[in-house]
Amino acid sequence: MLIHVVKANQTLDQIAITYRVSPASIISVNGLVEPVQLLTGLALVIPTEDVLHTVKPGETLWRIAQIYGTTVQVILGNNQITNPANIYPGQLITIPARRHRVLAGETLWFIAQKYQVSLQNLIKVNNITNANLIYPGTVLIIPRKPRPTIDVNGYIYRFSQDAVATVNREAEHLTYLSPFAYLIREDGSLQTIDDLPLIQAAISKKVTPMMSITNFTSTTRGENLAHLVLTNTEAINRLLTNAINIMKEKGYRGLNIDFENVLPEDREAYNALLQTAVTRLHAEGFFVSTALAPKLSAEQRGLLYEAHDYPAHGRIVDFVVLMTYEWGWRGASPQAISPLNQIKRVLDYAASVIPREKIFFGFQIYARDWLLPHVSGQIAETFGMDEAMSRALRYHAEIQYDTVPQSPFYRYTDTQGNGHEVWFEDARSAQAKFDTVKAYGLRGISYWALAYPFPQNWALLEDNFTIRK
């Protein structure tokens, strides 16, 4: 897939013609609402395996053909170029993906092996519903780029029928589903949640349910609760026994431990809890993971960070979820929620002390709207990407992109005359994050949270990776 940033006065039809795809396919993959209105600066996912190459100074068609593993004749046949020598810097040239015409007796598996692509990707790119029914003469698009296999986790904190529908809709993109969360009590008991419908939906879609336990809520930090549990052997044993019983009863296959704001003096006690948890749960056939605050170094100070011992977590548990988001938290000044420049600093430290095959990249899929001028203590509004786009359209905002945090934003003035600044995610920022996951060789991605629709993200996720089931 390609990403196109809308220019002033561009129409959907013009963009579709440029990339040789249908307007309907662009509408579908981007979740656009008809009648379609395009904002300047809007990033669109273009559903194609073809590549649009911009000619660089000194390039020849022969050189371009070599780069993409094709021929000058193929390029000429797909572009209105009459003289191969008459190309110029800045010219856009379509490089078509390879095609294969099915011969009698060929299977999809054979074709995938022939071109060294995965069967799953071959099926997905060609929208094949029955892999056993392909006919001689059918022309198949061969996926262009390799797709590494990763794990994908999705946290979800809503438990309504709408949440079940969300799981059913996004399940194909998930390895794990984590209903959030069982709240720990002082004696090690757990406050129950109505998670069974979500678990059943996940299992029916071949998604592994992962139980999540935590010590905090939206109104309490939980540091004293964590202290009471971590320093009480009886409470720890009760906590793990309760978790194991719930997992067996409901069908969970693993446990995600999310202790936040742990007191610095309880660091070793937290590590000891993890070791005890792994010993007991592994014996029962369950895996154990943790959620970690985004630390930049071992010496980082602050309640959120000090008790999160990266080397110990990397050594003890099966994998970790880095909560690489919330720089732009609700009470902060307007800024990127998940700035990639800061995330890379976290990954540099994490990858130095935790095996990369144990690291999940935390990815937030929500937007925030701050009032301007920002006043200390003022709380930003949180909503999904669909609402972010609706507001931009409503107030005719021009979308901008900050290349340092790799995040889009816009400003607008509401009907009362109040200024606003909105930071969100788009196709560009999602692709930048996916490129980072590949560059660091991480195990996977963990989304917070599935309550917020983001069609572009899922399309690009599948275009970049094969999701392990």
Predicted pLDDT at 219:
78
The β-bridge partners of 292 are: 322
- The 8 Å CB, 24+ separation contacts for 398-403 are 398/39, 398/40, 398/41, 399/39, 399/40, 399/41, 399/42, 399/43, 399/426, 400/41, 401/5, 401/41, 401/43, 401/426, 401/428, 402/336
The token pair at 415 is: 């009907």
pLDDT class for 459, splitting at 50, 70, 90? very high
> How many angstroms separate the CA atoms of 229 and 236, rounded?
6
- Report the SS3 class of residue 310: helix
Mean pLDDT (whole number) for 313-317: 98
- The phi, psi pair for 293, rounded to 5°, reads -65, 150
The token pair at 381 is: 């509004």
Candidates 281, 279, 161, 267; CA nearest to 210 is 281
Candidates 370, 369, 361, 316; CA nearest to 457 is 361
Residue 225 has pLDDT above 80, yes or no: yes
> How many angstroms separate the CA atoms of 55 and 246, rounded?
59
pLDDT digits (tens, 9 = 90+) for 47-56: 998 888 889 9
pLDDT class for 218, splitting at 50, 70, 90? confident
- In this structure, are residues 170 and 147 in contact, taking their beta carbons and an 8 Å threshold? no
> How many angstroms separate the CA atoms of 396 and 387, rounded?
14
Q: What is the mean pLDDT of the chain?
A: 95
pLDDT class for 20, splitting at 50, 70, 90? confident
Cis amide bond preceding 84, omega within 30 = no
Q: Any idea which residue has 């430290």 for tokens?
A: 349
Q: Which of 170, 223, 260, 462 is catalytic?
A: 260
Residue 145 has pLDDT above 80, yes or no: no
- Report the SS3 class of residue 354: coil
Of the candidate ranges 89-103, 235-249, 354-368, the one whose mean pLDDT is the lowest: 89-103
Residue 196 has pLDDT above 80, yes or no: yes
Mean pLDDT (whole number) for 107-124: 90
pLDDT class for 203, splitting at 50, 70, 90? very high
> How many angstroms separate the CA atoms of 187 and 12, rounded?
59
- The phi, psi pair for 126, rounded to 5°, reads -100, 5
Instruction: Enter the DSSP assignment of 373.
Output: S
Q: What is the separation of C-alpha 26 from the centre of its chain, rounded to a whole number of angstroms? A: 20
> How many angstroms separate the CA atoms of 22 and 148, rounded?
28
Predicted pLDDT at 18:
87
Residue 146 has pLDDT above 80, yes or no: no
Rounded (5°) CA angle 317-322-326:
150
Residues recorded for the chain: 469
CB atoms within 10 A of CB 14: 13
260 in active site? yes
Mean pLDDT (whole number) for 274-293: 98
> How many angstroms separate the CA atoms of 18 and 79, rounded?
11
Candidates 396, 386, 399; CA nearest to 452 is 386
The β-bridge partners of 419 are: 372, 413
Q: Which amino acid is at 329?
A: W
The β-bridge partners of 156 are: 179
Residue 191 half-sphere exposure toward CB, CA atoms < 13 A: 11
pLDDT digits (tens, 9 = 90+) for 57-93: 999 999 999 988 889 998 998 888 888 888 999 998 9
Helix axes 427-440, 340-353, angle to 10 degrees: 20
Q: Is the dihedral of CA 77, 81, 85, 88 positive or negative?
A: negative
Rounded to two decimals, the pTM is 0.91
Report the chain's terminal Cα–Cα distance, integer Å. 23
- In this structure, are residues 386 and 453 in contact, taking their beta carbons and an 8 Å threshold? yes
Helix axes 455-464, 23-30, angle to 10 degrees: 100
pLDDT digits (tens, 9 = 90+) for 369-407: 999 999 999 999 999 999 999 999 999 999 999 999 999
Cis amide bond preceding 405, omega within 30 = no
Report how far apart, in Å, the C-alpha atoms of 463 and of each of 29, 102, 148, 149, 346 are: 12, 23, 10, 11, 26
* Kind plus residue range of the DSSP H or E element containing 190: strand 190-191
By percentage, how much of the chain surpasses pLDDT 90? 85
Residue 462 has pLDDT above 80, yes or no: yes
Residue 177 has pLDDT above 90, yes or no: yes
- Report the SS3 class of residue 422: strand
